[in-house]
Structure 1
Amino acid sequence: MTASHGERIRIRFQTRYGVLPAGTKGLFSAQLICAVGSGMTTPMLVIYLHTIRGLPLALSASISMVAALVSLAGNPAGGWLADRSGARATSVLGLLIAASGTGALAPVTTSGWAIGAVALLGLGLSIAYPALNALLGHLAPADSLNKSFALQYMLRNIGYGVGGLAAAVIAGRASPGIFQLLYLIDALSFIAAAGLVLRVPTRGRAAAAPEQAKSQGPLESFTVVMRDSRFRRLWLINLAISIIAFSQLHTGFVAYATTYTHVTPRIIGIAYLANTLTVILAQMPILTVVNKRARPTVLTALCTCMTIPIALVYTSAHTPRIIGILLLITAPAILAIGETLYAASIPAMVNEFAPSHLRGQYNGALILAFTVGNLLGPAISGFLLSSHLPLPWILIMLTISLIAIGAAALTSSRAKLGAHSWK
């Protein structure tokens, strides 16, 4: 790469994102490293427990859900700890717990051991993510929150993609030693990320928040968060799009495409690739569009982009084969547009109006909506599609989509979500 070409990339980046606030470079680097490690191991967990460690397939799949169950408590706990003890300290704590969990998976031999390791991993991540979001909310100026959260989401996706590719290459030979190496590398990635977060400055709002939060207990502060009508509507949107979109991408989409559209795993892989590439390539242009549009328009577009993919997936089984395949590849790409709209909107909106001393709780509750959705979505699709009831499945998904669109309309028309513009 020539110097002039590198300079053009730097100028283009700063045109879209501006100069990054102090401390956020280290925070973004930490999350990129974490994402690479997680991308290497998360998709492999069921394969590792079943194929390498010899646990029954159903049990292996159930163990993989332990992390989400633990997160039901971990998300609000992480938010409360971030407000009480500081977002940086809580982030480091969560990352180190996650490191111990994924590291313990390397030598796992029994189901009990696996459950404990996955529970530790889930607890660590569920504590770390609200704290990391709160830390970013503290560090980024109010007028660049949407840019900062959009960049964070894009870097996480790049990390997951790179990690997934690395795992596909490294794990080509399914041996215990190779998989152990992957989980040890993942553990080291969390430790390295914790070291980077420790170097993030905690000045101004980030330092003042814990002192103001110490007078409130966890239940009291969480109740205050959920009484905020602005937040409740965004929470409902978060829950809805998690059920119909994010969780379906790896459950209902695969089950329906293979069972009813009868496509091969190769087509599924191409569809996932379309999703990842679209997120990476579209985030910067989408951010430019978001900065020029009113929030009602963005929220409506977000919910629409989360609704269209599930309709395309259902339609794919009722069209000629080539059209069905194209629909299956297009659906995750459209979902990716929705992901980029989400990354540049809702997290920034929440961090904009959240009081500084409750920023962790707001982020913990917001992520809790995803956790609940990631439990409900697969449960709904798994039961209905395994029972050969695709029509009730799509009707339920579309009904939830309409609820999300309605909540977006109410959010836009009844509430002023923040004092700053998006530009």
Structure 2
Amino acid sequence: MAVIDTLGLPNTRGRGPLVVAQAVDALGTGLFLPFAVVYFHAAKDIGLTTVGVMLSVAALISLPAGPLAGPLIDRFGPRAVMIASNLIRVATFTGYVFTDARWQLVLLVTATLCGESLFRPAATALVAHIADEGQRTRWYAMQRSLRNVGFGAGGLFGSLLVAWDGGGGYTLVVLLNAASFLVTAVLIGTWRPLTVLPGTAPGPVVRPVGERGGYREVLADRAFLGFLVTVLVFALCDLALTVLLSAYVIDARGLPAWQPGMLFAINTGLVMLAQTWVAKAIERRRRPRVLQVAAVLWIVSFAVFACVPTADTTLAFAGLALGMVVFTVAELLQAPTSSALIVSMADARVRGRYLGLEELMWGLAKVAAPAVFTQLLTARPELPWLVLGVCCLAAVAVLARLNRTLPVAALRETVDHA
């Protein structure tokens, strides 16, 4: 236990199958993620521009899935929703192999994205229920580390399969991803937790007469609505890594194509090595203050990216690497803290709805980021970083108000000291 505590890991006793399920899910997703665009281009012979439009349309259509996940989680429990989301993706990824019709592929991608939008809030809600007292932040940190390890290992294995058999490799990657979702669903479905989970106890949920419920109750929480502004900002910051950075480095700054890959490796390595340790270090800190520090660090990283010199390739990479380290530290602080703060703000009866609105903010960011970032980048290379920095300043102001108004129980994981 001493080693586990030193590493910042949570107590997983009786919850091993859940941990394994999350690792398998991440590994399977990592297999396909690097080829999400290339698969439809190479295996289905669809132009890259058309693929981009198809994926954007699917992302837009799937936006309501996040808010719809909330009532399902609150009514049937997070475990049931996680199982359903995995079975949906088993069907959609299997379907990719058997059709070349573009409209059918759009429907399948839309269903896949809906499954993802169900899975993420359900997984967060499940952890909120099963984590030991004071260990939610550690669980969210461990989840993130597992995802990065799985993405890295899956991406490497998927690349080997594609290099080995070209089109057949792409098909095998898709089928293995479908199999990983099936294994995940079985692991979660057969797991017998030590405590009764929401949605598994007999009898309906009974509310006192006159008590509000559903999204009316959530939308009446002005503090949470304010916090959703920061969720959107932080989602855009996170997406800058995958949507903006490569285009900025290669196209806007004319730097070598190997540099973005190295920067991604720095980010992934730091998350895998340091996420749980950082979570342990901040678990007794006031959550809004931790998020303010994350926002300020993002501003610093964006300033470094914007000012990187391009005359010397080595010096440019050194500057970008420094910016990436600062960027990653901001991620390490923000990711588990935001999840822990949301579940602490929510009444358990409507926690799924709170998390569903968080998922909606992420969906909006994913729809907006490609168009907004590319337009700003075309206008002036430094402009997207400047706009993101201003957004982070707004988040700092919102968090300052939350730090004054939220109840003490929501401010930090434990309340032993300030």
TM norm. shorter chain > 0.5: yes
Could you say which residue in structure 1 is the equivalent of 2:366?
Answer: 374
Pick from 329, 334, 343: which aligns with 1:342? 334
Structure 2 CA distance for partners of 1:257 and 1:214, relative to 1, 3 Å: farther
Contact 1:210 1:357 in 2 (8 A): no
Greater mean alpha carbon deviation, residues 302-311 or residues 192-201: 302-311
Pick from 4, 28, 46: which aligns with 1:55? 46
Could you say which residue in structure 1 is the equivalent of 2:118?
Answer: 127
Contact 2:63 2:364 in 1 (8 A): yes
Pick from 304, 315, 319: which aligns with 1:312? 304
Is structure 2 residue 210 aligned with structure 1 residue 227? no
Counterparts of 1:286 and 1:27 in 2: how far apart (Å)? 22
Residue deviations 1:96-154, cap 9 Å, x none?
Answer: 10121122222342322321221121111111221121111111134111111111111
Contact 2:305 2:385 in 1 (8 A): no
Structure 2 CA distance for partners of 1:19 and 1:110, relative to 1, 3 Å: closer
Structure 2 CA distance for partners of 1:283 and 1:213, relative to 1, 3 Å: farther
Q: TM-score, normalised by structure 2?
A: 0.90
Pick from 98, 101, 104: which aligns with 1:110? 101
Counterparts of 1:17 and 1:359 in 2: how far apart (Å)? 25
Could you say which residue in structure 2 is the equivalent of 1:263?
Answer: 255
Structure 2 CA distance for partners of 1:174 and 1:288, relative to 1, 3 Å: same
Could you say which residue in structure 2 is the equivalent of 1:253?
Answer: 245
Residue 160 of structure 1 aligns to a residue whose secondary structure is helix
Could you say which residue in structure 1 is the equivalent of 2:229?
Answer: 236
Query: How does 1:342-361 map onto structure 2 within 5 Å?
Result: 342-361=334-353
Is structure 2 residue 277 aligned with structure 1 residue 285? yes
Contact 1:256 1:313 in 2 (8 A): no
The code of the aligned residue for 2:243 comes to T
Could you say which residue in structure 2 is the equivalent of 1:4?
Answer: none
Could you say which residue in structure 1 is the equivalent of 2:34?
Answer: 43
Could you say which residue in structure 2 is the equivalent of 1:333?
Answer: 325
Q: Which runs of 5 or more residues in structure 2 are unaligned?
A: none
* Shift, 1:84, TM fit: 0.9
Pick from 59, 63, 78: which aligns with 1:68? 59
Q: How many residues are matched? A: 410
Could you say which residue in structure 2 is the equivalent of 1:192?
Answer: 183
The code of the aligned residue for 1:373 comes to A
Contact 2:284 2:412 in 1 (8 A): no
Structure 2 CA distance for partners of 1:18 and 1:213, relative to 1, 3 Å: farther
Contact 1:209 1:357 in 2 (8 A): no
Counterparts of 1:419 and 1:44 in 2: how far apart (Å)? 40
Residue deviations 1:245-300, cap 9 Å, x none?
Answer: 21111111111111222122211110000000010111132123203433343122
Q: Which runs of 5 or more residues in structure 1 are unaligned?
A: 1-9
Contact 2:218 2:354 in 1 (8 A): yes
The code of the aligned residue for 2:131 comes to A
Could you say which residue in structure 1 is the equivalent of 2:70?
Answer: 79
Could you say which residue in structure 1 is the equivalent of 2:163?
Answer: 172
Residue deviations 1:364-415, cap 9 Å, x none?
Answer: 1112211111222222112222x34334433322221111111121221222
Could you say which residue in structure 2 is the equivalent of 1:324?
Answer: 316
Pick from 85, 89, 95: which aligns with 1:94? 85
Aligned CA-pair RMSD: 2.5
Structure 2 CA distance for partners of 1:404 and 1:160, relative to 1, 3 Å: same
The code of the aligned residue for 1:298 comes to V
Pick from 292, 300, 311: which aligns with 1:300? 292
Could you say which residue in structure 2 is the equivalent of 1:409?
Answer: 400
Counterparts of 1:271 and 1:35 in 2: how far apart (Å)? 21
Residue deviations 1:7-62, cap 9 Å, x none?
Answer: xxx74224444662555322222111111111111220211111232101101122
The code of the aligned residue for 1:288 comes to K
Could you say which residue in structure 1 is the equivalent of 2:21?
Answer: 30
Counterparts of 1:248 and 1:191 in 2: how far apart (Å)? 31
Counterparts of 1:72 and 1:209 in 2: how far apart (Å)? 32
Counterparts of 1:285 and 1:60 in 2: how far apart (Å)? 40
Contact 1:279 1:340 in 2 (8 A): yes
Is structure 2 residue 390 aligned with structure 1 residue 399? yes
* Shift, 1:210, TM fit: 8.7
Contact 1:67 1:122 in 2 (8 A): yes
Contact 1:52 1:174 in 2 (8 A): no
The code of the aligned residue for 2:369 comes to G
Contact 2:162 2:168 in 1 (8 A): no
Could you say which residue in structure 2 is the equivalent of 1:145?
Answer: 136
Structure 2 CA distance for partners of 1:17 and 1:328, relative to 1, 3 Å: closer
Residue 345 of structure 1 aligns to a residue whose secondary structure is helix
Contact 1:68 1:122 in 2 (8 A): yes
Counterparts of 1:421 and 1:269 in 2: how far apart (Å)? 36
Structure 2 CA distance for partners of 1:420 and 1:23, relative to 1, 3 Å: farther
Residue deviations 1:54-81, cap 9 Å, x none?
Answer: 1011011222334532441111111210
